[in-house]
Chains A and B, each alone.
Chain A
Amino acid sequence: MAVGPRVLEAAGLREPGRRTRLREWWEQEHIFGYGLIVPAIVLLVTLVGFPFGMAIWFSLSDYWVGSPGGFVGLTNYRDILGNETFRQTVQNSFVFTGIALTLKIVLGVWLAMLLARNLSFKRVIRGIVLLPFVIPTALSTLAWLWMFDSLYSVVNWTAIRLHLISAPGPNWLGQSAYAMAAVITVNVWRGLPFFAIVVLAGLMTVPREYLEAAEVDGASSWGRFWHVTLPLIRPVLAVVILFSTIFTFADFNIVQVLTRGGPINTTHLFATLAYQVGLQGGNLGQGAAISLFIFPLLALVVFFQLRYVREE
Chain B
Amino acid sequence: MALAGSRGARIRSNIFAYANLAPYIFFVLFPFYFMVVTSFKSNAELYNLKSIPFWIQSGVITDHYALLFQKTDFVAWMKNSLLVATVATTVSLVISILAGYSLARLRFRGAASFGTAIFITYLIPPTLLFLPLSQVVVWLGVADSISGLMLIYPTFLVPFCTWLLMGYFRTIPREVEECALVDGATRMQTLSKIVLPMAVPGIICAALFSFTLCWNEFTYALTFISQSANKTAVVGVTSDLIRGDIYFWGSLMAGALLASIPIVIVYVLFLDYYVSGLTAGAVKG
Contact = CB atoms under 8 A, between A and B. Distances in A.
A226 interface: no
Nearest to A139: B256
B101 to A, nearest CB: 6
Interface stretch (A2-10, A170-178, A283-291): A283-291
A36 B218 contact: no
Contacts of A30: 106-109
Interface centre among A128, A134, A239 (most CB of B within 10 A): A134
Contact of B253 (A33, A54, A135, A143): A143
A103 interface: no
B48 to A, nearest CB: 9
A142 B258 CA distance: 13
Contact of A197 (B216, B249, B275): B275
Question: DSSP class of A's interface residues: helix, strand, loop or mixed?
Answer: helix
A134 to B, nearest CB: 5
Interface stretch (B31-39, B59-67, B68-76, B198-206): B31-39
A48 interface: yes
Interface in B90-119: 94-96, 98-99, 101-103, 106-109, 111, 114, 116-119
Given A33-B107, A125-B25, A136-B234, A40 B98 contact: yes
Interface residues of A, number: 106
A80 interface: no
A198 B99 contact: no
A152 B49 contact: yes
A238 to B, nearest CB: 10
A152 B46 contact: yes
24 contacts: A33-B106, A44-B159, A50-B136, A52-B132, A58-B132, A114-B20, A123-B271, A129-B24, A136-B263, A138-B234, A139-B259, A139-B260, A142-B237, A144-B31, A146-B252, A146-B253, A208-B3, A274-B127, A279-B130, A279-B134, A287-B131, A291-B128, A302-B120, A302-B123
A126 B163 CA distance: 25
B64 to A, nearest CB: 12
Contacts of A41: 99, 114, 117
A147 B31 contact: yes
Interface residues of B, number: 101
Interface of B is mostly: helix
Interface string B244-285: 000101001101100110011001100100110011001111
B155 interface: yes
Please give me the 9 A-B residue pairs with the lowest Cβ-Cβ distance, nearest first.
A194-B285, A33-B106, A271-B127, A30-B108, A250-B125, A40-B99, A201-B279, A54-B132, A36-B102
Contacts of B18: 119
A294 B125 contact: yes
Interface of B: 1-4, 13-14, 17-18, 20-21, 24-25, 27-29, 31-32, 34-35, 38, 46-47, 49, 53-54, 94-96, 98-99, 101-103, 106-109, 111, 114, 116-121, 123-136, 151-152, 154-155, 158-159, 162, 186-187, 212, 215-216, 218-219, 222-223, 233-235, 237-238, 247, 249, 252-253, 255-256, 259-260, 263-264, 267-268, 271, 274-275, 278-279, 282-285
A288 B1 contact: no
Contacts of A151: 49
Contact of A152 (B53, B283, B285): B53
A181 interface: no
Interface in A273-297: 274-275, 278-279, 284, 287-288, 291-292, 294-295
Contacts of A13: none
Contacts of A194: 278, 283, 285
A36 B132 contact: no
Given A131-B28, A140-B256, A291 B131 contact: yes
Contacts of A154: 34, 53-54
Given A51-B136, A140-B256, A197-B278, A295 B223 contact: no
Interface in A126-180: 126-140, 142-144, 146-147, 149, 151-152, 154, 157
